[in-house]
Amino acid sequence: MKNRYLDLVLALLGGSLLAVMINLNSRLAEFTTPFLASWVAHGIGAIMALAIVMVIAKTKRSTTTNNSIHLNHNNPPKSPKWSYLGGIPGALTVVFAAITVNSPLGLAGTLALGLVGQIMFGTVVDNFGLFGLDKKPFSIANCISILPIAVGSTIIIFFGI
């Protein structure tokens, strides 16, 4: 149960980071274009991730023995090649968003439809266990969280902000 709350808090934190990130990236975009801003942000993100990975590797090396290799049995042995390509759809979202924000949909329409797309795609991925993830069949219970969150977000997007 404790772990459930940890996941909840972490996922919410992820959303908070996203909001701040969008705010900062659009400030950067004001000086150039959304494309160039995202390009720079990806570069900086790569450097940052590399730094974290190196720090973690160093701490691990100094605190664990050689036996630690055998502790990895929880991880499936080999990652499929396609799983390294998550950055491609991620990068393309910048391009898509730049187009739709400047269309009649505007920022609000872009946000609201993006949210619908995310939730729909999430239910499909869960229901069929796509991308080698665990299967979580769709149930009516899912709607209990989907409906209020989707409606609440849409109200905020169109009328609140």
Partner 1 sequence: MLIYIILALSNGVFIGMSRAINGKLSQHIGSFNASLSNHIVGFITLSLLFLPVFIGLYPTELNVNQLSNAPLTAYLGGVIGALYVAINSFVLVRVGATNTALLVISGQMLTGVMIDYQSDNLNSLLFTFVGVTLIVIGMILPSKLKS
Q: How far is the CB of 27 from partner 1 (least distance, A)?
A: 4
Q: What angle do CA 118, 120, 121 make, to 5 degrees?
A: 65
Q: How far is the CB of 126 from partner 1 (least distance, A)?
A: 5
Q: Which of 15, 63, 70, 71 binds partner 1 (CB under 8 A)?
A: 15
Q: Which of 59, 61, 68, 117 binds partner 1 (CB under 8 A)?
A: 117
Regarding 137 and contact with partner 1 (CB under 8 A), the answer is: no
Q: How far is the CB of 72 from partner 1 (least distance, A)?
A: 10
Q: What angle do CA 75, 142, 122 make, to 5 degrees?
A: 50
CB 157 within 8 A of CB 112: yes
Nearest to partner 1 of 68, 130 (CB atom): 130
Nearest to partner 1 of 64, 155 (CB atom): 155
CA distances from 16 to 85, 91, 110, 147, 150 (A): 25, 20, 19, 21, 17
Q: Which of 23, 63, 65, 67 binds partner 1 (CB under 8 A)?
A: 23
Q: How far is the CB of 139 from partner 1 (least distance, A)?
A: 11
Site for partner 1 in 50-89 (CB under 8 A): 50, 52-53, 56, 75-76, 78-80, 82-89
Nearest of 144, 124, 146, 145 to residue 135 by alpha carbon: 124
CA distances from 2 to 5, 8, 10, 13, 68 (A): 5, 10, 12, 17, 27
